[in-house]
Structure 1
Amino acid sequence: MNEIPPGPLAGIRVLDLTSVLMGPFATLQLGDLGADVIKVEPPEGDIVREIGPGRGPKMGGMFLHTNRSKRSIVIDLKRPEGRDALLRLAATADVMIFNMRPKALARLGLDYGSVRAVRPDIVFVGLVGFGQEGPYAARPAYDDLIQGASGVPALVAAASDGTPRYVPVNIADRVVGLFAVQAILAALFHRQRTGEGQEIEVPMFETMTGFVLGDHLGGLTYRPPLDAGGYARLMSRHRRPYQTADGHICVLIYTDKQWRSFFAAVGSPDLIEDPRFRNLKARLRHIDEVYGEAGRIFRTRTTAEWRDVLERADIPNMPMHTLATIQDDPHLKAVGFFEAAEHPAEGPVVSMRVPSRWSRTQPRAGRPAPRLGEHSREVLAEAGFPDREIAALVAGGAVREGGTVPEEMSDRQEEAV
């Protein structure tokens, strides 16, 4: 049996004080890349443990998918002995990441200066709602709020029936989480070259604003403005999966060549001479009419008929999957994206593999998502805590082991971004 090579971040230890989704999604990536991620949870656990159905308590599906490749230790940071234990763990870490509001972290005595005193070269990463130099610095932030503030619901309203809506994915949390991973990897590379650690702030609002406006600032880029902004194709009310005679299909006819091929395939080559379809600029000026005409054509055949026509014409298309059908997609089956796994506490589960392919250090899930406090004793012992001290921390309530879960909410959860 071939030995599985370690991931590219093997040897890197991450002290993860994040909760909910943005931070845990970032540390998921680091864990899958081989880092030793130690998830520090409050006594009641990360609130995401409660989301969705689960076989066991505090082991919901979203938690399983966001917190694999991590170990869980429960520390009550409000207790002085808990705070001291955390600092001793920080002395062994390469990265400390949190999404608690910075003032709350400072009240606990866990600000950058305190942590740097025990680990001078640490990469100290704060995921915050807003840049700490602006007037929104102290405000709480959640995905819905950041979607709204960065313009997403307004764009959805302009592109649909006029009703603002949030995208039904935690897109701000996940996008900002990926930006955090990028920052951490770059800081580790800098440290490798110079020996210097540093403090990094990753704000949700500014990150998502740049993400959205990259598509939509448009003519507002210039002074004076050339238009009111907004990428016309993305904002068309007709930009949606096309309705067919028996369902829907996702198609993007984009280039001049693709439009010529499409009209030839449906027996309407004369339409390519229509001024509205002549080139990209013309199509963007008349985008609602262009999509409307295409929509009329797509309703004339079944989805299966269109798949055959579009494949022969080399026009990009995909099925419109639902949550119920996507696991049966033949491509995802062929590449082994969905994997059957056995969770030691939850039993048979479906896992999603790391999508990228590596020739030497293939990232993979290192371990299943942990039970609350499952690794408390193990992590402390590795950091040099003797058995008697671990026992005293557990007896005093500063540290908890798996299975000891109070029902009350702590202020630390409320302080999370």
Structure 2
Amino acid sequence: MAGPLDGVRILDLTSNFMGPYASLLLADMGADVSKVESRQGDTTRGVGPCRNRGMSAVFLHLNRNKRSIVLDLKSADGVGALKRMMRSADVLLYSLRPKSMARLGLSYEEAREINPRIIYCGTYGFGQNGPYADRPAYDDLIQAAVGMPVLQSRKNGPPDYVATAVADRVVGMAATSAVSMALFRRERTGQGQEVQVPMFETFAHFVMGDHLYGHTFVPAIGDWGYARMMNPDRRPYRTQDGYVGVNVYTDQHWLRFFALAGHPEMGQDPRFADIHGRTENIGLLYEFLARTFETKTTAAWVALLTEADIPVIEMNTPESLLDDPHMKEVGFFVDQEHPSEGRLRALGIPQRWSESSPELRYPAPRLGEHSAQLLAEYGFSSHEIDDLLRCGAVYAPEVQDTSPND
């Protein structure tokens, strides 16, 4: 067994970031993920540096532990092949809008007729019972819709997006959780079901737990927005030779820090004596911290605060993180030899399991690399596979590359 989801078959009809991140997490936990692509392939195959076209850095990180099959879902034979695979699949995961799935003949009602035990999970922009139901959505749009750029603007000036696909990845994690829980329920009841994971509502749930703030109450008590999170001085602190991330948080942390900084009297100041007062006066504290941290080197502060059990860490760049001593010791970054892309640096699986330990089983696949293999595993005969390849409903690179007419 390679992971707790070993034996779970997933047909993955997602592309870009959100859906593939969900299926990546499921694949890392041992699920057998068939990445269903069009002849053009997932859009992220072209995002970032690459050695070979269609195998970009972003794609490689989002699609390991999966196998690729190319089906032409605009053809009757391609859709027919997918429906046949659905008979023995456990999960159908998709990121098309539901109306597009219905046009393909792949609505939940049709999927349930094929396989009543299937978990049918859609990850798309908006809940289907609201006026935005038919709109397309991407990470930037959802960040904007939930107010993330405005929250950022209270720190940095004009509204700005967070510098990572945070909505895509948060919603991807939510989809992973939803699929896992639906599978758990099916183990108890034998029943499949449809699960909808809309981006807008899911990301709003993620953000507004912090930032609804005063509007939690009716009528509102003060403004929206968690003041500490939005303060422009909430940032890594400059030292004499670099930066540190520090969270002086609890009452004891602050008492010890005030003493280390040579100002023990601040611990008795009612503005700073408890978390309520510190939250109200966080701007003053951030200014004090900024002045204080500039007085010593990064190494000196890390040693001093670690000894005092105050949370601190040296700030990394993505490059220096590769040499972080903790990451090296736990083996987070793993060098791999990819069969077509050469030497690569992969991200390890963060969790540790005492049983059913997940593994890095497959490198990210070339487009259609496993088409024939997956069809065979889903019960297609070699003659049927040849027919599907010949009519173009299925693509496999080894067939295309050896064609005398290519």
Which TM class, normalised by the smaller chain length?
over 0.9
Instruction: Determine the C-alpha separation between the residues in 1 that align with 2:311 and 2:265.
Output: 22
- Is 1:84 paired with 2:57? no
Question: Is contact 1:105-1:111 (8 Å) kept?
Answer: yes
What residue number does 1:58 align with?
54
Report deviation, 1:405.
Answer: 8.4
What residue number does 2:133 align with?
137
Question: Is contact 2:14-2:93 (8 Å) kept?
Answer: yes
Instruction: Determine the C-alpha separation between the residues in 2 that align with 1:86 and 1:191.
Output: 22
Report deviation, 1:25.
Answer: 0.5
Question: Is contact 1:43-1:405 (8 Å) kept?
Answer: no
Q: Secondary structure at the match of 2:285?
A: helix
What residue number does 2:65 align with?
69
Matched letter for residue 199 of structure 1: E
What residue number does 2:227 align with?
232
Matched letter for residue 260 of structure 1: L
Q: Secondary structure at the match of 1:328?
A: coil
Matched letter for residue 169 of structure 1: T
Question: Is contact 2:65-2:360 (8 Å) kept?
Answer: yes
Matched letter for residue 5 of structure 2: L
What residue number does 2:353 align with?
358
Instruction: Determine the C-alpha separation between the residues in 1 that align with 2:376 and 2:353.
Output: 34
Question: Is contact 1:373-1:403 (8 Å) kept?
Answer: no
Matched letter for residue 257 of structure 2: F
- Is 1:251 paired with 2:270? no
- Is 1:204 paired with 2:217? no
Summarize deviations over 1:241-300 as a string: whole Å, max 9, x none.
011122211111111211111121122212223333222111111111110111111111
What residue number does 1:311 align with?
306
Instruction: Determine the C-alpha separation between the residues in 2 that align with 1:247 and 1:327.
Output: 18
Structure 1, gaps ≥5 residues long: 407-417
- TM-score using structure 1 length: 0.94
Instruction: Determine the C-alpha separation between the residues in 2 that align with 1:165 and 1:364.
Output: 37
Q: Secondary structure at the match of 2:361?
A: coil
Question: Is contact 1:12-1:94 (8 Å) kept?
Answer: yes
- Pick one of 346, 354, 371 that aligns with 1:376: 371
What residue number does 2:270 align with?
275
Question: Is contact 1:41-1:73 (8 Å) kept?
Answer: yes
Q: Secondary structure at the match of 1:324?
A: helix
Summarize deviations over 1:121-157 as a string: whole Å, max 9, x none.
1000111100011010111000000011111111000
Q: Percent identity?
A: 51
Report deviation, 1:348.
Answer: 0.9
Instruction: Determine the C-alpha separation between the residues in 2 that align with 1:40 and 1:239.
Output: 43
Instruction: Determine the C-alpha separation between the residues in 2 that align with 1:121 and 1:224.
Output: 46
Instruction: Determine the C-alpha separation between the residues in 1 that align with 2:89 and 2:62.
Output: 21
Question: Is contact 1:372-1:403 (8 Å) kept?
Answer: no
What residue number does 2:41 align with?
45
Higher RCO (C-alpha 8 Å, min separation 6) = 1
- Is 1:36 paired with 2:32? yes
Summarize deviations over 1:39-60 as a string: whole Å, max 9, x none.
0000010010111111112001
Instruction: Determine the C-alpha separation between the residues in 1 that align with 2:398 and 2:273.
Output: 67
Instruction: Determine the C-alpha separation between the residues in 2 that align with 1:109 and 1:404.
Output: 28
What residue number does 2:16 align with?
20
Tell me: CA distance 1:110–1:289, structure 2 relative to 1, closer, same or farther (3 Å): same
Matches within 5 A, 1:171-210: 171-210=166-205
What residue number does 2:117 align with?
121
What residue number does 1:346 align with?
341
| RMSD, matched Cα | 1.4
What residue number does 2:332 align with?
337
Question: Is contact 1:373-1:401 (8 Å) kept?
Answer: yes
- Is 1:397 paired with 2:392? yes
Question: Is contact 2:11-2:34 (8 Å) kept?
Answer: yes
Matched letter for residue 179 of structure 1: A
Question: Is contact 1:39-1:73 (8 Å) kept?
Answer: yes
Report deviation, 1:324.
Answer: 1.2
Q: Secondary structure at the match of 2:305?
A: helix
Question: Is contact 2:13-2:93 (8 Å) kept?
Answer: yes
Q: Secondary structure at the match of 1:277?
A: coil
What residue number does 2:404 align with?
none
Question: Is contact 2:2-2:359 (8 Å) kept?
Answer: no
What residue number does 2:155 align with?
159
